[in-house]
Amino acid sequence: MRTHAVLDAAAVESLLAAAVAAPSIHNTQPWRFRLDPDNQVLEVRSAPERALPRTDPTHRAQYLSVGAAVFNLRLAALHLGRRPEVRLLPDPHDPGLLAAVHLTGLSAADEQPVAPGLYEAIARRHTSRMPFTGRPVPEPIVAEMTSNAHAAGARLHIPDIVGTRRLLRLTAAAEARNHAHPERIAESRAWITAPGADTSYGIPVTALGPPDAGKRIATRDFTGPVPAARRPARWFERHVQLALLWTSHDRRDDWLRAGQALQYVLLTATANGVRTSLMHQAMEWPDLRAATAFPRHKRCHPQMLIRFGYGPDGTGTPRLPGAADLG
């Protein structure tokens, strides 16, 4: 039997706390929430004022970020004993409404809760920009990441050594272009915050990683020509483990699905003690993004490059509490 108990304030708060813990490009947190208490629907909207016109003119990365928040909402709803029914882009006349999450009661015990540890991983997951040890992640964990991406409506491709080198080269090419583009540098630097800064957005300088002394892994240089903010170079892992997240179409709803799949993959890794880092630079230049697709697949639309492995945990980043954004 289904129940439709009204969500109390504590339940709404825990749903939103989970949602805002999602990763977002430059920690822009480009989402807004609105609760329709009568219908038990949480609306997820984009926050246009937190867009990145230079880095993300099509808003694709913004949709990925919102998709990741929607995935967390789903997990948190299940954790509360609710069944989340998600509709993506539910109103063609309201393009800013990216998702509507209807929180019905759970039916009987036939309904399987989420995999153990996944909800708990929401708070533990941080982007780790440090060198990893290079210890290979066991095949069953990689297989779980891959099948979960698929279950969420996207695909995960694990490249071989030649493919890995190619993806790293394309990322380095994108990073070099970003460097030659003062407006992009200025845009990303604007989201880097000083230690102890009183802000709920952006990336604290302490969460950034060092550049790779071997110059093989082009991690994003958020600080641009401010050498004081840059950490000394360190040697990164020799055997880089990468995963390319892709979808077979490239529409707005595919981006939202890709974001959900991304978060499913990141939380699966986290629940298994695996660290993750995102390398999105090549996705920000149409020709380089197209080049990251594997050549024999006509319908491969790359969405994100993920580096994963064992190593230090990432540093936490601030969040605006979800309720503060509740419209």
List contacts with ligand FMN (CB under 6 A): 23-27, 61, 64-65, 68, 126-127, 129, 203, 220, 278-281, 314, 317
Name the minimum Å distance from CB 25 to ligand FMN.
4
Nearer residue to ligand FMN within complex by CB, 126 or 184: 126
Which C-beta is closer to ligand FMN: that of 97 or that of 128?
Answer: 128
Q: Which residue is nearest to ligand FMN (CB)?
A: 23
Closest by alpha carbon to 64, among 285, 283, 322?
A: 283
Shortest CB 110 distance to ligand FMN, Å: 34
Residue with tokens 């200025």: 186
**Pick 55 or 103: Cβ nearer ligand FMN:** 55
Q: From 22, 64, 102, select the one nearest 253 (Cα to Cα).
A: 64
Q: Which is nearer to ligand FMN, 50 or 220 (CB)?
A: 220
The smaller minimum CB distance to ligand FMN, of residues 210 and 314, is found at 314
Cβ proximity to ligand FMN: between 103 and 168 the closer is: 168
Element at 156 (helix H, strand E): strand 155-157
Q: How far is the CB of 183 from ligand FMN (least distance, A)?
A: 17
Q: CA-CA distances (angstroms) from residue 242 to 19, 184, 269?
A: 26, 25, 13
**CA dihedral sign of residues 66, 68, 71, 72:** negative
Q: Residue 127 CB, nearest distance to ligand FMN (Å)?
A: 4
Q: Could you give the CA distance from residue 293 to residue 296 in angstroms, rounded to a whole number? A: 9
Please, is 3 exposed, middle or buried when counting C-beta atoms within 10 Å of its C-beta (0-12, 13-18, 19+)? exposed
Least distance (Å) between residue 278 CB and ligand FMN: 4
- The bridge status of strand 301-309 relative to strand 242-247 is antiparallel
H or E segment at 303? strand 301-309
Least spacing, CB of residue 205 vs ligand FMN, in Å: 12
- Nearer residue to ligand FMN within complex by CB, 65 or 164: 65
State the amino acid at position 127 in one-letter form: T
Cα–Cα distance for residue pair 184/198, rounded to 1 Å: 24
CB of 70 to ligand FMN, least distance (A): 12
Phi, psi dihedrals of residue 324, rounded to the nearest 5°: -65, -25
